[in-house]
Amino acid sequence: MVFTVDKATDNSPLIQAKNVVKSYGDTPVLHDFSLDVSRGEVVVLIGPSGSGKTTFIRTLNGLETIDSGRITINGNVLADAQPLGSGKPHKPHKPNHRSLQKVRLDVGMVFQQFNLFPHLTAAENVMEAPVWVRKIPRQDARKRALELLDRMGLADRADHYPHELSGGQQQRVAISRSLAMDPVAILFDEVTSALDPELVGEVLRAMRQLAADGMTMIVVTHEMQFARQVADRVVMMAGGRLVEAGAPEQIFGSPSDPRTAKFLQSVVHPQ
């Protein structure tokens, strides 16, 4: 184990999104979307392109603001906005600086395009936030970074720059970078979509390991095999709404909504 799961005993969900509404201008993207995630749970979000998966998980670490609804993470209120016509003047909710900062320390994010810092080596990428945000001494931070990279199978790549690494290696550095801040949960947004097919497996393997270690994860992916094997719960989204949610056997075996069946069909047998 390279991270410690905070075994707080209360049973309230670690991540709680309630009635989240969000539009880009006049285009509604999330309609009254609610989702609770418990400690240690792995939730896989699936759904057609444009259904709001990315937007939703970005609201969970404040990369997107919401128009109304409430988001609580590890006891910190990230967003709490009144719906239109509730009496209070309507204003897109901007999380205050301190709760945003706190939530971002709690929730890690891994991106489709890796977004490694190109001017820093793999180890420096991993150390950067621990050293500058958590003020951990460089030597300790480097030691921890090397442990995390080793854990991701990248011990011999620690002093390489991102452009010297394959996509799969870069993405594993990105996962290490996120782990280095000891997050209570990590969000994954289609983290294998930009990879060459032969590199997908190594990243999924790393994520599988994290899940087995008890990390709380919300994973947007089209890798149905991964969802089937790793997810505690699969959530199907369409048009900014939650279509259905359930155990992977139920969603993949006997979906109750025709949109789910149709979507799964299209993923399994792409045209």
Ligand X SMILES: Nc1ncnc2c1ncn2[C@@H]1O[C@H](COP(=O)(O)OP(=O)(O)O)[C@@H](O)[C@H]1O
Residues that bind ligand X (CB under 6 A): 24, 27, 29, 47, 49-55
Six-digit token string for 265 = 């069909």
Residue (4 or 225) nearer to other proteins, CB: 4
Residue (49 or 271) nearer to Mg ion, CB: 49
Instruction: For the beta carbon of residue 176, count every other beta carbon within 10 angstroms.
Output: 26
Binding region for Mg ion (CB under 5 A): 54
Q: How far is the CB of 182 from other proteins (least distance, A)?
A: 11
Q: How far is the CB of 169 from ligand X (least distance, A)?
A: 25
Residue (36 or 161) nearer to other proteins, CB: 161
Q: What are phi and psi of 270, to 5 degrees?
A: -65, 145
Residue 185: in which H helix or E strand, if any?
strand 185-189
DSSP assignment of 88-114 equals SPP--B---HHHHHHHHHHEEEE-TT-
- For the chain, how many helices (H) and strands (E)? 9, 10
User: What dihedral angle (degrees, nearest 10) is formed by the CA atoms of 173, 174, 176, 178?
Assistant: 160
Six-digit token string for 81 = 């906005």
- Of Mg ion, other proteins, ligand X, none, which one does residue 181 interact with (CB within 5 to 8 Å by kind)? other proteins
Residue (109 or 207) nearer to other proteins, CB: 109
Q: How far is the CB of 45 from ligand X (least distance, A)?
A: 8
- Of Mg ion, ligand X, other proteins, none, which one does residue 55 interact with (CB within 5 to 8 Å by kind)? ligand X
Q: How far is the CB of 191 from ligand X (least distance, A)?
A: 13
Residue (40 or 52) nearer to ligand X, CB: 52
